[in-house]
């Protein structure tokens, strides 16, 4: 799958949720944050926000003073990173590197040459600039000046091709080209490809914030979603009614009303003690201004409450045609996130807003 991660941050209680221990499985794969380093300097916030949500609280995530969130990705030779960003001071936005381990992002690590890779920053000329993570923080590319100001939302997209001498980078701000370069070293000691994307802040003042919203990460594998998506808005919607199947048992009241809290309220829930029990829910319509749908992501929080074997999977249903997500193994007595990204609608083909408005989402026990 080319589309590796999408996130608007509405579903989280706190930035500590952006860690691998909050996801299903021992080694969460694409679609998950591996960690949020220096979580004391990162915060979920309701202002400023890039996308106004339909029936959930709108949020963005802020990073300051060398705090980053890290996404583990398959080793990739072409990466496209897109996000809405609002900066209160000039500084770093993202880094590409080899595998993640421990607190890898801080001023000493970046300056000391202990971490391989490249990173992107804004500078006071209003340009975006690429540096190597080495002892000299070498500047290898500076984009078009006058394209970026502080305290304003922009949608920044970067395409990076891995290579020691044949690497390249292409920048876009709000969908418009903001600079490019070829025949450059984007590997900087990494072998094989990029394995980690770190998005956050490397400013040295605790008063300087980078706010992020509507993030996507993709690579060039697969047949769809292998290049720039353009500026996007991510809509995170909670169930608003019962779907065509209500097989699970609600802890109280209606099934859908037990799973519509954002952030999640784990005191009400639906449950199943047998396999192949399906719960589906309806959701509000997208805003009328939405003309293009790139993909649909479905998330849940599940747990087991006994030692027996039980699995779960996300399900989407469009006019009776179903597509099933990855089967996951819930953790005993601990709610964990599960997420699937559906690049095509059930039955195949590109999504339309009408498809999404008619779609039912849910979960099935396995």
Q: Is residue 322 part of a domain?
A: yes
Which of 51-60, 119-128, 161-170, 257-266 ranks highest by mean pLDDT? 51-60
Residues 103 and 145 in one domain: yes
**Domain assignment of residue 360, given as a range:** 241-365
Q: What is the pLDDT of residue 72?
A: 74
Residues 37 and 172 in one domain: yes
Residues 176 and 271 in one domain: no
Look at the chain and report how many structural domains it folds into: 2
Domain at 194, CATH number: 2.60.120.200
Residues 193 and 262 in one domain: no
Distance CA 281, CA 304 (A): 21
Residues 184 and 255 in one domain: no
- Residue 214: name the closest of 1, 36, 2, 50 by CA: 50
Q: Is residue 334 part of a domain?
A: yes
Q: Is residue 167 part of a domain?
A: yes
**Domain C-terminal end among 165, 188, 219:** 219
Residues 144 and 292 in one domain: no
Question: Does residue 359 carry a pLDDT above 90?
Answer: yes
Q: What is the pTM of this model?
A: 0.90
Residues 52 and 167 in one domain: yes
Q: Is residue 236 part of a domain?
A: no
SS3 72: strand
Q: What is the mean pLDDT of the segment spanning 125-145? A: 79
Number of C-beta neighbours around residue 175 at 10 A: 12
Q: Is residue 122 part of a domain?
A: yes
Distance CA 180, CA 178 (A): 7
- Write out pLDDT tens, residues 238-287: 999 999 999 999 999 999 999 998 877 888 999 998 999 999 999 999 99
Alpha-carbon radius of gyration of the chain: 21
Number of C-beta neighbours around residue 206 at 10 A: 12
Residues 181 and 245 in one domain: no
Q: Residues with Cβ < 8 Å from 84, sequence gap 6 or more?
A: 50, 51, 60, 153, 154, 155, 156, 212, 213, 214, 215, 231
Q: What is the pLDDT of residue 111?
A: 24
* Rounded (10°) CA dihedral 340, 68, 147, 204: 170
Choice between 93 and 290, residue whose per-residue pLDDT is larger: 290
Q: Is residue 255 part of a domain?
A: yes
SS3 17: helix
Q: What is the mean pLDDT of the segment spanning 145-161? A: 92
Q: Is residue 224 part of a domain?
A: no
Q: What size, in residues, is the chain?
A: 366
Choice between 150 and 24, residue whose per-residue pLDDT is larger: 150
Q: Is residue 257 part of a domain?
A: yes
Question: Does residue 107 carry a pLDDT above 50?
Answer: no
Percent residues over pLDDT 90 in the chain: 44
């Amino acid at each position: 799958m080319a589309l590796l991660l999408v996130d608007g941050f509405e579903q989280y209680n706190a930035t500590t949720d952006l860690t691998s221990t909050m996801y299903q499985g021992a080694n969460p794969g694409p679609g998950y944050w591996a960690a949020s380093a220096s979580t004391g300097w990162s915060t979920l916030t309701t202002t400023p926000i890039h996308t106004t949500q339909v029936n959930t609280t709108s949020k963005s995530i802020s990073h300051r003073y060398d705090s980053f969130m890290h996404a583990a990705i398959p080793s990739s030779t072409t990466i496209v990173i897109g996000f809405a960003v609002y900066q209160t001071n000039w500084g770093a936005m993202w880094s590409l590197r080899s595998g993640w381990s421990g607190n890898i992002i801080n001023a000493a690590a970046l300056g000391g040459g202990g971490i391989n890779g490249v990173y992107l920053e804004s500078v006071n000329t209003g340009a975006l600039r690429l540096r190597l993570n080495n002892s000299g923080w070498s500047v290898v590319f500076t984009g078009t000046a006058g394209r970026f100001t502080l305290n304003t939302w922009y949608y920044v997209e970067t395409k990076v091709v891995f290579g020691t001498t044949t690497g390249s980078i292409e920048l876009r701000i709000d969908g418009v080209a903001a600079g490019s370069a070829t025949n450059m070293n984007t590997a900087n000691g990494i072998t094989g490809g990029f394995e980690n994307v770190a998005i956050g802040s490397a400013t040295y003042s605790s008063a300087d914030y980078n706010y992020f919203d509507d993030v996507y990460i993709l690579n060039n594998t697969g047949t769809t979603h292998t290049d720039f998506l353009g500026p996007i808005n991510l809509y995170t919607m909670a169930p608003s009614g019962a779907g065509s199947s209500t097989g699970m048992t609600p802890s109280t009241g209606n099934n859908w009303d037990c799973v519509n809290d954002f952030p999640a309220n784990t005191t009400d829930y639906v449950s199943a003690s047998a396999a192949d029990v399906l719960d589906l829910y309806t959701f509000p319509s997208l805003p009328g201004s939405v003309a293009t749908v790139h993909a649909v992501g479905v998330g849940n929080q599940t747990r087991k409450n006994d030692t027996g074997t039980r699995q779960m999977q996300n399900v989407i249903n469009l006019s009776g045609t179903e597509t099933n997500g990855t089967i996951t193994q819930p953790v005993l007595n601990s709610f964990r996130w599960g997420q699937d990204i559906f690049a095509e609608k059930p039955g195949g083909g590109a999504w339309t807003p009408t498809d999404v408005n008619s779609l039912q989402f849910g979960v099935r026990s396995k």
